Chains A and B, each alone.
Chain A
Amino acid sequence: MKISGLVEAIFSNAVALDQSGGLRNTIYAIEDQIFILNYDHTVLLRFKLRSEEKKFEQPISFKANDYDSNIFEEIDGNIVFISDNGEFKRKKSCGTTDITPLEVQELYAKYAYDLSNRPQVDLSDKVLELIDSDLSHIEFSGTKEGGIRIIQRNIYSGGIIEIEKVKSPLFHETLIADFGPIAIKTNDFKALFSIQPEDEKRSSPTLRFFFPQINESNDFIIVKPSTTEKKRSFTAIVACCLYDEIIEIKESRSI
């Protein structure tokens, strides 16, 4: 099958993320949806194709850094990428993944749900200029009165970085409830911004973060582009990092 330019762009984006070291990803495509799941299973991205796009009748999956060409087919359980330069034809064969596209689709459905009860905050990529990429986590918390507060603690040489949104005289963002503190890995946070394509109409890409309320039993964050006119609109589910006494890894709970 030959994929469209839009799908190729999504795949390429996943490959670029993989190579940047931000998210080490696996790509799954099924029907009109493309999923990207990172290596640690802490971030799941879902891209929904437009109705005019060709659907993936045959579900496929492969590791992002195996992606080699926009023409590929599945042969005996392997994905074969085919490319040529007019004189020679190249085939690259690679294995599929341990989890099936259907399982990932079901996983997404488990986490994606009504967002109306979640405190939401818009963050532009300008925030990346202020964070310290060498620190492992970014802590988020927010109050109805005070808005969002972003914190990084330097456990190596001391010091705390605190980031707050500058209040605009024209628009004041209020939260529907308090949330946090919860954290996202710094690499995951940065990678989310690199997914969104440059938008010439806006000064910088902006993402909308839907945080879980305090004491809510859903320890994950949902992230979407702040506007919907994007060609590559996506939804990201990000597993929270939590400040409790537990060392066992658990699944982020869902409704």
Chain B
Amino acid sequence: MSCSMSSTQSKPTPLALIAELTHRCPLRCTYCSNPLQLQAAANELATAVWESVFRQAAEMGVMHAHFTGGEPLVRGDLEQLVSCAHEAGLYTNLITSGIGLTERRMDALEASGLDHFQLSFQDCEPEGAAAISGVPVHERKVALAKRMATGPFAFTINMVVHRQNLDRLEALIAFAESFSPTRIEIANVQYYGWAFENRARLMPTREQVERTIRVVAAAQERLRGRMTIDFVLPDYYARYPKACMGGWGQRLLLVDPMGDVLPCHAAKIIPEMRFENVSRTPLRGIWESSEAFERFRGEEWMSEPCSSCERRTGDHGGCRCQAFLLTGRAEATDPACSLSPDHGMVTDRLPEALVQVCVAEGGETKEVWKYRVNPS
């Protein structure tokens, strides 16, 4: 007899649904993961269509529903959607800036069966936070996080890190810790969408990253048994690429505000991709056989060095969107991989070059940042 547990296998049953309810958001973060082409409120799916999406997802075997945006609280029907997902058996996670969360809505979310909250901070002090988010909302978020600590939910404090704030990582961790969350996430910016536009000012230096690894490891040890700290490394500095999304079309699907179904947040940047829409096609059919999900599923699309690499079953060749952004070829090996012929693009030379670009563009003053916009 053995009382074992095992991580889930990467078989093509989707495990998580990312419900990108809206692109509207009161914040204008310079590293927002939304696409540059934001969708207007008028194109957003109706409540009943989302409800059908959650029921279909649960039937397909999806376990987690991540409610995100934009700011999901902008949708007045958020509680109704969480309730529907919960009743369908999904684990519900709300990823939010907290702006728009009132006591009344917190009660409603509790009643709707919300399992977990993720509250993200732009910094540990107001000025740095406003420089990133473009709006002075830090103090309101602090008040909310304090309220969360006494509330009914398990929650994560997510600190997004980059060149501008990594030198005060200890303070960022202490700040997150002060709210007694169940979990802290130290997430390096991922360079897609708006973050890619601003990477000259966001990309950390190698020294910062090396220090980060040590600081996080020490904090994890210190907080063991009290809270977990998950750490996302910037993959420009990794030796091998991340297993992006657990493999294309392997574990995860994203429904965007207008109902298009994507294998990841950024997939729309890849040229000649056709996305099916939940308003017209059942979710299962889209997952199993749509062109977008089939395009990079499995290994047939791979070329060397991936196709004969023993790591291919683990990292699936890395990230298709990053391969496209950096090489112009979505089917290339992710340049984050040290085995990629394009790896030179992301080794030391690039971060250094980006610092030069940053200086040439006028440094780090507010004027040179590209802030995301709020679609109407």
**Are chains A and B native binding partners rather than an unrelated pairing?**
no
